[in-house]
Amino acid sequence: MLVVSGKSRLLALTGAAVAVAVAVAVAGCAGDGQSGIPTETPEPPATAETTAVAATTPHAEPAVVVGEVRGNPAAAPALQSWTNDLVDGDDVVSRCWTIAPERAAAMYADVDAITAAVRQPGQDGQFAVTWSAGGTDVSVLRHEIAAGYACPYVHPTGANPYTGEDAVHAVERFLARAAGKPVNPADTEARYPLACDSRAIWDPYGTGVPDVPPLSTDPDVFTELTSFDAEAATFWAMDDVYAAVTVPVVDAGAARDLEVLVTTGANGYCLGEVS
């Protein structure tokens, strides 16, 4: 079992308290960042706030110019804003709240490798746009492009862009929303989907009779959650497609282990079911 620790604290979710914790999982990936069960390419949100607070200083002549993406004119400008901040030494980790802070810090450490990749023309895939060079891929999901400030996943070429940390962070964000204290005011389901798509392809137990993911039709399952222990969260792969995140919670006044089943798709890790 792979154990993934979140922030070292117990988050109480009473009244206006902030909740943060757990979830999500696994699968193979293509060069464009797709993995897990296949999904249809989602339309970008009608309106989307930036993933982070964009820098206020204009960059008339960027030190690193992001390569254009044929057929997706919004992709390069969205990554350009992030690249400007990275090259200037600004705090891109705190601005990229859709990614766990420790994970973002590790991915964004090799500035030279990242800038070498983003200078190349980007390739528009099914779920993500990817810039590549020297064995490094810089991949951006579509909702990040729509936001106008694209926080990328940086990974070796051909490797799965996601890890158990990403799954856990997705669950943290989902629980924080349920508590009424999202990690960022822009973090809504409409702008940054976390529940799996409502398509009859969900079959984590291999029954041969797929159905729609329960959380896609009934996402309000944590209304009586009062606290959870992010540090004690665990993540394990059920198979090549599905995974589970387990976290201790206090729900409806009773302590129990909450298990969330996840997979990956158009928006990275998504939550499908609470068991």
DSSP 141-207: EHHHHHHTS---EEEETTS-S--HHHHHHHHHHHHHHHTT--SSTT--TTTS--BPPSSTTB-TT--
Res 13: pLDDT: 35
**Structure-block tokens of residue 164:** 């158990």
What are the tens digits of pLDDT across the range 150-166? Answer: 999 999 998 999 999 99
CB-based contact 161:24 (threshold 8 Å): no
User: Average pLDDT for residues 170-194, to the nearest whole number?
Assistant: 89
For the four alpha carbons of 180, 183, 186 and 191, in that order, the dihedral sign comes to negative
Res 180: pLDDT: 80
What are the tens digits of pLDDT across the range 52-62? Answer: 444 445 546 89
Mean of all residue pLDDT scores within the chain: 82
Alpha-carbon distance of 270 to 5, in angstroms, equals 19
User: Average pLDDT for residues 193-199, to the nearest whole number?
Assistant: 93
Alpha-carbon distance of 136 to 133, in angstroms, equals 6
How many residues in the chain? 275
Res 58: pLDDT: 53
Res 128: pLDDT: 95
Res 219: pLDDT: 83
pLDDT of 50 > 50? The answer is no
Res 9: pLDDT: 35
pLDDT of 30 > 80? The answer is no
DSSP string for 194-250: -BPPSSTTB-TT--S--B--HHHH-----TTEEEEEGGG-EEEESSSS-EEEEEEEE
Alpha-carbon distance of 117 to 78, in angstroms, equals 15
Model confidence band, residue 1 (pLDDT cutoffs 50, 70, 90): very low
User: Average pLDDT for residues 166-185, to the nearest whole number?
Assistant: 89
What are the tens digits of pLDDT across the range 230-249? Answer: 778 899 999 999 999 998 88
